[in-house]
Chains A and B, each alone.
Chain A
Amino acid sequence: MATQPTNLSPVEELRELILGRERLDIQTLKDRLGQVESKFSSPEAFEHEVSQVFSGALKAASGAERQRLVTILSGLLSSSVRQEIKLAQPEILDALYPAASQLVAEGIRASFRDLKKSIEKQIAARLSIFQALKVKAKAMMTGRSEAEIWLEVNPPFDIEQALVIHKQSGLLIASYQNQSDDELEGGGDTTHDPDLVSAMLTAIMGFAKDAMSEDSTGELTSLEFADGVLLIQSSSSVILALKVKGHPSEEFRDCFSTEFHSFVRSWSGSLATFDGELEKEEETEINVGLEALIDRLETNVERPAARSEKKSRGTMRFVLLAFLFVMVVVGAFYIILDWWRDRIVDQAQETIYSTASVTGYPLTASYDDEFNLIRVIGIVPTRFVAEELRENLRRSLGGREVSFNLRVLHDELVAQTAREQTALMVTNSRGVKKLETAISLLRREIQKFDAELADGRFEDGLRKGFAEDLATMGNRIGQMERFIAEADGLRIPAVGPVQVEPDEETIPDPFTETVSVDSLSLEEINHQLLNAEEASCRDLLTEFVQAGLDNAFVQAALNTTGDQFSLSPLDFEGLARCSTFEFDRQGQLYDEAKAKKIIDALAGKAWGELGERTLEIRAYVQLYREETENRHFAERIAGDIQKRLLAKGIPAEWVKITPIIADQQRVGNGSSWRTSDFVYFGLMDKNQESE
């Protein structure tokens, strides 16, 4: 190799020959190092260079050393993210909101679906009217919503999952997953592999047994979560784990235990020898058995709150039934008692009605609850009649205790009436006797005259005329004799005169008064009555009565209830008009002073025969509610009126006092809680029956 002549020293030339290449390389390296140094000499330049390769480097590292990269970056990123969240919460929330809100919404929806399903299930299974009312009542009392109380009383409870695990190996033998829960979770959660759960549960149980249980025979029986419990039952070879939502009652746990032991007995052979494999048929049978066990738990065992609810409901039901039973018995007893009493009272009243001698007399039978006896109250004409009535009632009521409160009309009055009648009959008899004597004398005169005619003392023509006159006279005398015979009742009775005591009071003779009455129309009478003063009322009444008015029902009612003593015309339709005066039922209506006035007015007038009519005084004591209290009150008033009228000497047969029960609807203003009892007196044609 030829060499170029140089001006280098030999040493330098030798150095060049030996180290020239290395020198060149060093120079190249220096240049390159300078270039590199220029790239990394300042932070900005270094950042620029690294940024160009950083993404590529990360990409390469994520492939080859992904795990290491993740480990290195995770701590850094976690701190960075935490710091960033602290510093820029609003921005991060804004960024996360679109995605997070959807997740939250979906989570809430899932929870509501779950809750709704649970509530519907419970309501369908157990909601009764009683329970619903109870919840409503509690909600009203506490001011909380029904749903809140319902959830409190019946928290959601559901069987979610069941695992049959081989105890020694922790291997899963069979499992059950609630289908609806599975659907709610979107087809199952792959992170909870039943095989792994089974194994972990077995491990936990082993750990708990060794570490926690002083008693080596003790086993873990449950694991509680916030919203549920994992119930565990285990035998020597098998573990049955039941995951439930909500909190089971002791009864549920007992039932679960019973079902587990039954399950183990059924499959003891297969379960004890399980080595991780099952024949297909055997596996199917065990799974079917597990589902049947779950069904029994779901259908036969009450949920926790429901059990206590059922207990209390059962108790309440028993109490209610007992109460109802007692009420029915007591009610039936009283109904029967009332019916029995009514029957006895009806029987007594029927006996009174059937006793002819008291017809028309105010007599009432009632049952006295306090003394447990029948009371008969009223007025009878005589003591004999009273005794007859007593005997009749005792006989018809079969010896039941009867209390009589009978007022006997004054015997004196009866005797007085009889004496008057006797006197009248004596008078009549004398008249008849005289008439008979006169007739006899007349007949003898006729016979004598007839004999003279026969002697021929008169001319033929004259004799013929006399004979005809005598025949006519004989016929008329015969007619009179027949009348007398027909009027035989006017003769003095064969029994002789009635012995009576002299009457203390002077009874006015109804025949002595004479009243002249102008004929008036009904309208005119009504008009005059309505506008009449008290004094003229009495006169008008008398006039009307004595006029023998065509309308037999024209009556004069003396109303005792108004502020004014008034007299108003009444027919039965008019009765309602009179009832416009209303009073409470404490007896205010019965003004004794006013009643006395009425009675005096009535007693001072002439009653009796008016033409062909026989009028009577009727006093109606009217009440609008058929209550014992009212009835007694009416009877008292009736008795009082009768007594007063009789004391005035008005013959008993002219007086009729009738307590009547009026239709409540006829009360003027329709008030149903106030009685409008009143008393009215009237004159009535005896021949015409009143209603």
Chain B
Amino acid sequence: MSKAKKICVLGEFAVGKTSLTRRYVLNSFSPDYQATLGVSLYKATANLQRGEEVALVLWDVEGGEYRASALDRYVPGASGAFLVSDVTRPKSVEALSFFAERFQSLSPGCPMVFAANKVDLAHQEETVNLARDIAKTFDASLMETSAADGTAVPEAFSSLANEIYLRAEG
């Protein structure tokens, strides 16, 4: 039995969605910023805690609340979402709620994992806490990640993959 799941990577622009995804899939990082237009697609294989493998098709959707229509187009059918914020930009953390709500409305009941990204640049405790609070309100976990140095990146995606299956079984 083959398994594949669609996961959407959402968040404000320039929070590091593409960097996180590329770090996870390609194990690479570029400090140069190139905005994603539309969606970028990646495929990765995750090992579940119960010993199985699952193919993850990652939809790296362009950021920005003003591009809400992109969410409507690309999110449906997703089994989970990875919501990314930039700890150096509090506004990007605040925007998590918008993306989380939007995701829940488009893929009801599907798990989310929040990422407080760019922790390598500066540890903004306050911002991280804000993100954690938002995650809690959506019954989701928060991972402090860094695409630049790879901190907690695999764990974050694996966590989401496991959560998807736990949620499905539960």
Q: Which residues of A contact B (CB under 8 A)?
A: 67-68, 71, 166-172, 193, 195-196, 199-200, 203, 206-207, 210, 275-280, 283
What chain B residues lie within 8 Å of A172 (beta carbons)?
4
Closest-CB distance, B165 to chain A (whole angstroms): 10
Contacts of A283 in B (CB 8 A): 1-2
Smallest CB separation, B88 vs chain A (Å)? 20
A71 touches B32 (CB 8 A): yes
Can you pick out 20 interface pairs between chain A and chain B where the beta carbons lie within 8 Å of each other? A67-B29, A166-B77, A168-B77, A170-B77, A171-B4, A171-B57, A195-B55, A196-B42, A199-B6, A199-B59, A203-B73, A206-B73, A206-B74, A207-B38, A276-B3, A276-B5, A277-B1, A280-B1, A283-B1, A283-B2
Asked if B51 CB lies within 8 Å of chain A CBs, one says no
List B19-50 residues whose CB lies under 8 Å from chain A: 28-32, 38-39, 41-43
Give chain B nearest CB distance to A276 CB in angstroms.
5
CA distance A192 to B30 in the complex (A): 24
**Residues on B with beta carbons closer than 8 Å to the beta carbon of A168:** 76-77
The answer to the question of B141 belonging to the interface, with a C-beta cut-off of 8 Å to chain A, is no
Judge whether B119 is part of the interface by a CB distance below 8 angstroms.
no
Docked complex Cα distance between A280 and B6 (Å): 20
Asked whether, in the complex, the Cβ of B77 is within 8 Å of the Cβ of A171, the reply is yes
Determine how close the nearest CB of chain A comes to the CB of B67; give it in whole angstroms: 12
Contacts of A169 in B (CB 8 A): 6, 76-79
- Rounded to whole Å, the gap between the CB of B80 and the closest CB of chain A is 11
Additional 4 contacts, C-beta under 8 A, given A168-B76, A277-B3: A166-B77, A171-B6, A196-B43, A278-B1
**Complex alpha-carbon distance, A172 and B4, angstroms:** 8
Kindly provide the distance from the CB of A662 to the nearest chain B CB, expressed in whole angstroms.
94
Most interface-central of B38, B57, B69 (chain A CB within 10 A): B57
* Complex A-B, nearest 4 residue pairs according to Cβ-Cβ distance, in ascending order: A169-B77, A168-B77, A206-B73, A169-B6
> When chains A and B are docked, how far (Å) is the Cα of A167 from the Cα of B59?
15
Q: Which chain A residue lies CB-closest to B73?
A: A206
Q: A655 CA to B112 CA in the complex, in Å?
A: 130
> Taking CB as reference atom, which chain A residue is nearest B22?
A67
Q: Chain B nearest CB: distance from A217 CB in Å?
A: 16
User: Nearest-CB distance from A282 to chain B (Å)?
Assistant: 9
B-side contacts of A200, CB under 8 Å: 41
- Nearest chain A residue, comparing its CB with the CB of B55: A195
How far, in angstroms, from A172 to B39 measured CA to CA in the complex? 18
- Residues of chain A contacted by B5 (CB below 8 angstroms): 171, 276
Give the residues in chain A near B57, CB-CB below 8 Å.
170-171, 195-196, 199
Bound CA span A196–B5, Å: 12
The answer to whether B3 and A71 touch across the interface, beta carbons within 8 angstroms, is: no
**Contacting pair A203 B1 (CB below 8 A):** no
Q: Is the interface of B mostly helix, strand, loop or mixed?
A: mixed
Q: Can you name the residue of chain B whose Cβ is closest to the Cβ of A167?
A: B77
Most chain A CB within a 10 A radius of its CB, from B30, B59, B77: B77
Q: How far is the CB of A273 from chain B (nearest CB, A)?
A: 12
A355 to B93, CA, bound (A): 131
Q: Which A-chain residue is minimally distant from B165 (CB atoms)?
A: A277
User: Chain A residues near B78 (CB, 8 Å)?
Assistant: 169
Within 8 A of A (CB), among B57-74: 57, 59, 69, 73-74
Q: How many angstroms from the CA of A172 to the CA of B43 in the assembled complex?
A: 12
Residue among B6, B28, B32, B69 with the highest chain A CB neighbour number at 10 A? B6
A71 x B30 contact (CB < 8 A)? yes
Q: How far is the CB of A390 from chain B (nearest CB, A)?
A: 104
User: Contacts A166-B77, A171-B77, A283-B1; is A203 near B28 (CB within 8 Å)?
Assistant: no
Fill in one digit per residue for B1-16: 1 if any A CB lies within 8 Å of its CB, else 0. 1111110000000000
Chain B residues within 8 Å of A279, by CB:
1
Q: Give the distance to chain B from A267, nearest Cβ to Cβ, in Å.
A: 16
Task: Please name all residues of chain B whose beta carbon is closer than 8 Å to the beta carbon of A171 when the two chains form the complex.
Answer: 4-6, 57, 77
Q: How far is the CA of A23 from the CA of B140 in the complex (A)?
A: 64
Q: How far is the CA of A210 from the CA of B74 in the complex (A)?
A: 11
Of the residues A193, A276, A278, contact of B6 by C-beta under 8 Å: A276
B39 close to A203 (CB less than 8 A): yes
Say yes or no: A203 contacts B74, CB within 8 Å: yes
In the assembled complex, the CB of A61 is this many whole angstroms from the nearest CB of chain B, namely 14
Complex: A193 Cα to B6 Cα, angstroms = 15
User: Which residues of chain A have C-beta atoms less than 8 A from B31's C-beta?
Assistant: 68
Instruction: Specify the chain B residue showing the minimal Cβ separation from A194.
Output: B43
With the chains together, A419 CA to B79 CA distance in Å? 137
Chain A positions within 8 Å of B43 at CB level: 193, 195-196
Among B29, B42, B76, B79, point to the contact of A275 (Cβ < 8 A): B79
Chain B nearest CB: distance from A295 CB in Å? 23
Smallest CB gap from B41: residue in A = A199
Instruction: Give CA–CA (A307, B2) in the complex, Å.
Output: 40
Instruction: Return chain A residues, CB-CB under 8 Å to B38.
Output: 203, 207
* Docked complex Cα distance between A278 and B43 (Å): 19
> How far is the CB of A627 from the nearest CB of chain B, in Å?
87
Chain B residues with CB under 8 Å of A68's CB are 30-31
Closest to B5 in A: A276
Which of B1, B4, B30, B168 neighbours the largest number of chain A CB atoms within 10 Å of its CB? Answer: B4
CB pair B4 A195 closer than 8 Å: yes
Closest Cβ of chain B: how far from A652's Cβ, in Å?
114
Which residues of the partner chain B approach A166 to less than 8 Å between Cβ atoms?
77
Residues B73 and A210 in contact, CB atoms below 8 Å apart: yes
Cα(A275)–Cα(B167), bound, Å: 13
Q: Which of A71, A167, A276, A278 contacts B79 (CB 8 A)?
A: A276
Nearest CB of B to A286, in Å: 12
Bound state CA distance, A200 and B43, in angstroms? 11
> What residue in chain B is nearest A172 (Cβ atoms)?
B4
List A contacts of B28 (CB < 8 A): 67
Given contacts A172-B4, A276-B6, contact A67 B30 (CB under 8 A): yes
In the docked arrangement, what's the CA distance between A317 and B1, Å?
53
Of A71, A172, A277, A278, the most chain B CB neighbours within 10 A belong to A277
Q: How far is the CB of A518 from chain B (nearest CB, A)?
A: 126
Best-surrounded residue of B29, B38, B41, B78 (most CB of chain A within 10 A): B41
A200 to B6, CA, bound (A): 12
Asked if residues A196 and B1 are in contact (CB atoms below 8 Å), the reply is no
Closest to A279 in B: B1
A276 to B76, CA, bound (A): 13
Q: How far is the CA of A265 from the CA of B159 in the complex (A)?
A: 37
CA distance A588 to B80 in the complex (A): 111
Residue with the highest number of chain A CB atoms closer than 10 Å, among B31, B43, B73: B73
Kindly provide the distance from the CB of B21 to the nearest chain A CB, expressed in whole angstroms: 13
The closest CB in chain A to the CB of B58 belongs to: A199
Which residues on A sit within 8 Å (CB–CB) of B77?
A: 166-171
